[in-house]
Amino acid sequence: MNVSMKALPAAALLLFSLSMNSCQPHPPERIASPNGKLMAEVLLLGNGQLAYGVRYEDEPVIETSVLGFEFLDAPPLSAGLEITERASRFFSERWEMPWGEQRYVDNTYNEMRLGIRERQGLQRSFFLVFRVYDDGMGFRFEFPEQEHMDRVLITEEHTHFRLTGDHTVWWTPGDWDIYEHLYSSTPFSQIDALSKRNHPNLAQSFIPVNAVNTPVTMKTAGGLYLSFHEAALIDYAGITLEIDPVNLQMRSNLVGTEREDFKVQRHTPFHTPWRTLQIASRAGDLIESKLIVNLNEPNKLGDVSWLRPTKYMGIWWEMHIGKSTWGMEGSRHGATTGNARYYIDFAAEHGIGALLIEGWYTGWEHWIGHHDREGIFDFVTPYPDFDLEEVSSYAREKGVDLVMHHETSSAVTTYEAQMDTAFALMSHYGYDYLKTGYVGTIIPRGEYHHGQWMVNHYMRVIKKAAEHQVMLNTHEPIMATGLRRTYPNDATREGLRGQEFNAWATDGGNPPGHLPIVAFTRMLAGPIDYTPGIFNIKIEPYRPENRVNTTLAQQLALYVVIYSPMQMVADLPRYYEDHPAFQFIKDVGVDWEESRVLGGEIGEYVTIVRRERDTGNWFLGSITNEAGRELTIPLDFLEDGRYAAILYADAEDAHWEHNPTAYRIEEFEVDRTSEMFLKLAPGGGAAISFLRMHND
Ligand code: NOJ
Ligand code: CA
């Protein structure tokens, strides 16, 4: 009796597991990271729908989430699928960044490649490829050439991310036209992107649904950090992630166009960008992760020794604070020959490598706010008070490079028509750097900054700039997706709410918590042209209503914390003249052998150290939000030998709001066994130069 009683449940269990198998046509396909901690699994649901899930240290991170596509003129690709083949491989390489936040990058992953086919009907097929790293993963869809798929018009990609809880999320709204929003920090279920519509300070903005832009970063209740983005966005629409607050799920919502009924147009063979997830148990590891660049193809430009990271000044901030103007409509034109010579002299004297000059070509009187911006800028005709020949030869004589400026005003077809002439002029005058800008709604009308049409435009500019050996800094860009690995002249970009908002925003400017969020969100995508270094914090006498909401010491720390191979020295020369703290900006590197995040919490603070290429000098930057804090920093990151440590810190009584410019400079002799104590004021920061001493 007892025996049979025991036997029965065992038999029932067997039957149960058999029936589970029979309604699940294929056992899950799994692939783990090289260290085994991260695991992706792909399965087919009962109706033959493709789905995947992710586990970290054996706990679910992404619950079973569906994948699929909808097309304009073909049935959707979602249910009725089968897995026809599986291949996997281990890959490992170390590649060198021609410039970067570190010289060598380890690229080690396990790849799983699944062949998927419709069981019936058109029997269309594609590959689903997962690459699983120790620091995250990426997956993409590859469509081979085939009989029933030639021209493909995608109306929506269905890539879902089903979360395991109501995580804390640092997000900006899913805006199809601009990334220049402040971050919000809310539980996932309370994301409300539509409340960010109608921002008074944005020349263009379109937030169609409750979605977020990527990178979007989260923290789970268990203390795990997750960041979602995409890599290698080429000839495809940018992604936003629509929020389903009830099911705690994000669904891809590609950026569309009003000109077509589809969002992406391709011909087979093609593949999508990588859908990426970075995972870390320490917030700083998100910043150290190189997943996004690793998922891009190696350098396609060959010898890029012509790329030179640089600090640069600009005839720029003075326009933003209203001291001068871009155009010649009044008597305060900024880009005059005389003013350019003044900036060149200053840059040459202080070893700042380059100078950006905005507003030197005609048309700015008809720029912003004009309905028809087509044909306004030609990028080659100087204003009468700007002698291009003289400025260029003076800069050359003084050893200062010039940064060309092309504000397209988003009249993109006009710009494309002018590009050859504009680049020829740059080559003629020896320009090695270009800053572009895309303020305003896109012309052709109906296109958005982050849609496929513009993604392709930004790529044409990268390639044109590469032909002319020009390093690129794009404002109002498409978000970085690691293409700097493939096209290393695609150096830096804005793509966030930059310092300029402190000059004129009517909403109080960037709060002290802004950059401690940016470092763990936007910065995961790639280098940022934030334009640090404002010493005249209160912007007096020009902008009594506006100000920078940090201490002066934090402005210094940003040269280390916010990475960019073109790093602006943004304030007017006279605020640096004779200022002891300017020495840090002169000393700090712009190209790094290695970088480490010593500590940080999203939205609170972050401390980063970087070792300069060639000199071996180290630099530290630490920034904090509204809260002051004290940090003890062991200097064990230093190499053997002694260093002169020059500390630029907030003064005892410094405070971002009522005492922002109080700072102190102290010098120490240190080595790798030393510790340093930092006291950051509310909204403050600290910067340290560790200069190698050569006499030991
Ligand atoms: C917006 C850019 O972000 C800013 O840097 C530039 O000065 C203006 N457009 C004018 O082009
Ligand atoms: Ca901007």
Q: Provide the token pair at 512.
A: 């002290």
Q: Check the CA dihedral 301-304-310-312 and report its sign.
A: negative
Q: Residue 687: CB partners within 8 Å, gap ≥ 6?
A: 553, 556, 557, 559, 560, 584, 588, 619, 620, 621, 622, 647, 648
Cα Rg for the chain, rounded, in angstroms?
27
pLDDT exceeds cutoff 70 at 329: yes
Q: Is 500 a catalytic residue?
A: yes
Average pLDDT over residues 607-627: 98
Q: Which atom of ligand 1 is nearest to the CA of 326?
A: 10
Q: Residue 484: CB partners within 8 Å, gap ≥ 6?
A: 293, 296, 490, 491, 526, 527
Which protein residue's CA is at the shortest distance from atom 8 of ligand 1?
A: 437
pLDDT exceeds cutoff 90 at 18: no
pLDDT exceeds cutoff 60 at 1: no
How many Å lie between the centroid of ligand 2 and the Cα of residue 449? 13
Q: What is the pTM of this model?
A: 0.95
Give yes or no for residue 500 CB within 6 A of ligand 1.
Answer: yes
Q: Which atom of ligand 1 is nearest to the CA of 319?
A: 7
pLDDT exceeds cutoff 50 at 624: yes
pLDDT exceeds cutoff 80 at 2: no
* Neighbour-count burial for 192-213, b at 16+ CB within 10 Å, e otherwise: ebeebeebeebbbbbbbebbbb
Which protein residue's CA is at the shortest distance from atom 3 of ligand 1?
A: 475
Which protein residue's CA is at the shortest distance from atom 6 of ligand 1?
A: 437
Give yes or no for residue 387 CB within 6 A of ligand 1.
Answer: no
Q: Provide the token pair at 309.
A: 């990271």
CATH class held by domain 4-294: mainly beta
Could you tell me if 639 and 633 are in contact, meaning their C-beta atoms sit under 8 angstroms apart? Answer: no
Q: Provide the token pair at 135.
A: 């620091």
Give yes or no for residue 529 CB within 6 A of ligand 1.
Answer: no
Fold: same for 4-294 and 299-495: no
Q: Provide the token pair at 526.
A: 């790639």
Comparing 21-25, 393-397, 613-617, which segment has the lowest mean pLDDT?
Answer: 21-25
Average pLDDT over residues 179-184: 98
The number of beta carbons lying within 10 Å of the beta carbon of residue 45 is 16
What pLDDT score does 373 carry?
87
**What are the boundaries of each domain within the chain?**
4-294, 299-495
Give yes or no for residue 358 CB within 6 A of ligand 1.
Answer: yes
**Residue 690 CB-density burial (10 A; 0-12 exposed, 13-18 middle, 19+ buried):** buried
Question: Closest by alpha carbon to 572, among 360, 364, 319?
Answer: 319
pLDDT band at 69 (very low <50, low <70, confident <90, very high): very high
What pLDDT score does 5 carry?
34
Phi and psi, residue 123, nearest 5°: 50, 40
What pLDDT score does 516 carry?
98
Q: Rounded to whole angstroms, how far apart are CA atoms 157 and 68?
A: 6
How many Å lie between the centroid of ligand 1 and the Cα of residue 656? 26
Residue 442 three-state SS: coil
Q: Which atom of ligand 1 is nearest to the CA of 498?
A: 3
Taking only the tens place, the pLDDT of each residue in 561-611 is 999 999 999 999 999 999 999 999 999 999 999 999 999 999 999 999 999
Taking only the tens place, the pLDDT of each residue in 242-295 is 999 999 999 999 999 999 999 999 999 999 999 999 999 999 999 999 999 999
Could you tell me if 192 and 220 are in contact, meaning their C-beta atoms sit under 8 angstroms apart? Answer: no
Q: Which atom of ligand 1 is nearest to the CA of 316?
A: 7
Give yes or no for residue 180 CB within 6 A of ligand 1.
Answer: no
Which protein residue's CA is at the shortest distance from atom 10 of ligand 1?
A: 407
Average pLDDT over residues 106-119: 98
CATH superfamily placement of domain 299-495:
Aldolase class I (3.20.20.70)
pLDDT band at 695 (very low <50, low <70, confident <90, very high): low
DSSP 163-187: ESS--EEEE-B--SS------EEEE
Residue 265 three-state SS: strand
Question: Closest by alpha carbon to 473, among 614, 610, 365, 311?
Answer: 311
Phi and psi, residue 129, nearest 5°: -115, 125
Could you tell me if 130 and 139 are in contact, meaning their C-beta atoms sit under 8 angstroms apart? Answer: yes
What pLDDT score does 6 carry?
34
Give yes or no for residue 432 CB within 6 A of ligand 1.
Answer: no
Average pLDDT over residues 394-417: 97
How many Å lie between the centroid of ligand 1 and the Cα of residue 178? 13
pLDDT exceeds cutoff 80 at 15: no
Average pLDDT over residues 425-430: 98
* Neighbour-count burial for 357-390, b at 16+ CB within 10 Å, e otherwise: bbbbbbbbebbeeeeebbebbbbeeebeebbbee
Q: How many CA atoms lie within 13 A of 173 on its CB side?
A: 21
Work out whether strand 354-357 and strand 310-315 pair parallel, antiparallel, or are unpaired.
parallel
The number of beta carbons lying within 10 Å of the beta carbon of residue 189 is 16
Average pLDDT over residues 465-494: 98
pLDDT exceeds cutoff 90 at 9: no
Which protein residue's CA is at the shortest distance from atom 11 of ligand 1?
A: 407
Taking only the tens place, the pLDDT of each residue in 303-312 is 999 999 999 9
Could you tell me if 171 and 186 are in contact, meaning their C-beta atoms sit under 8 angstroms apart? Answer: yes
Average pLDDT over residues 82-102: 98
Q: Look-up: residue for tokens 């000199």?
A: 615
What pLDDT score does 426 carry?
98
Phi and psi, residue 627, nearest 5°: -90, 130
Amino acid present at 129: V
**Residue 689 CB-density burial (10 A; 0-12 exposed, 13-18 middle, 19+ buried):** buried
What pLDDT score does 366 carry?
87
pLDDT exceeds cutoff 50 at 13: no
Q: How many CA atoms lie within 13 A of 321 on its CB side?
A: 24
- Ligand found nearest the CA of 178: 2
Higher pLDDT, 587 or 17: 587
- Ligand found nearest the CA of 315: 1
The number of beta carbons lying within 10 Å of the beta carbon of residue 399 is 11
Average pLDDT over residues 61-90: 97
Q: Rounded to whole angstroms, how far apart are CA atoms 408 and 374?
A: 9
Q: Check the CA dihedral 467-471-473-478 and report its sign.
A: positive
Element (H, E) at 284: helix 283-288
Q: Rounded to whole angstroms, how far apart are CA atoms 675 and 290?
A: 29
Average pLDDT over residues 624-650: 98
Cα distance from N-terminal residue to C-terminal residue, the chain? 87
What pLDDT score does 25 carry?
54
Could you tell me if 321 and 548 are in contact, meaning their C-beta atoms sit under 8 angstroms apart? Answer: no
Give yes or no for residue 494 CB within 6 A of ligand 1.
Answer: yes
Could you tell me if 203 and 407 are in contact, meaning their C-beta atoms sit under 8 angstroms apart? Answer: no
Q: Rounded to whole angstroms, how far apart are CA atoms 512 and 515?
A: 7
User: Is omega for the bond preceding 527 within 30 degrees of 0, making it cis?
Assistant: no
How far CA 103 is from CA of 374, 493, 527, in Å, comes to 43, 20, 15
Q: Residue 651: CB partners within 8 Å, gap ≥ 6?
A: 659, 662, 663, 664, 681
pLDDT band at 372 (very low <50, low <70, confident <90, very high): confident
Could you tell me if 53 and 138 are in contact, meaning their C-beta atoms sit under 8 angstroms apart? Answer: no
Largest CA distance in the chain: 106
Q: Which atom of ligand 1 is nearest to the CA of 407?
A: 11
Instruction: Show contacts of 199-205: CB within 8 Å, 24+ apart.
Output: 200/506, 200/507, 201/501, 201/504, 201/505, 201/506, 201/507, 202/178, 203/368, 203/439, 203/440, 203/441, 204/177, 204/178, 204/410, 204/439, 204/440, 204/441, 204/442, 204/449, 205/175, 205/177, 205/178
Could you tell me if 137 and 277 are in contact, meaning their C-beta atoms sit under 8 angstroms apart? Answer: yes
pLDDT band at 8 (very low <50, low <70, confident <90, very high): very low
What pLDDT score does 12 carry?
35
How many Å lie between the centroid of ligand 1 and the Cα of residue 608? 28
Q: Look-up: residue for tokens 């058109």?
A: 122
What pLDDT score does 149 carry?
97
How far CA 316 is from CA of 333, 357, 629, in Å, comes to 11, 7, 34
Give the active site residue among 230, 500, 604, 612: 500
Give yes or no for residue 407 CB within 6 A of ligand 1.
Answer: yes
- Ligand found nearest the CA of 317: 1
Average pLDDT of every residue of the chain = 95
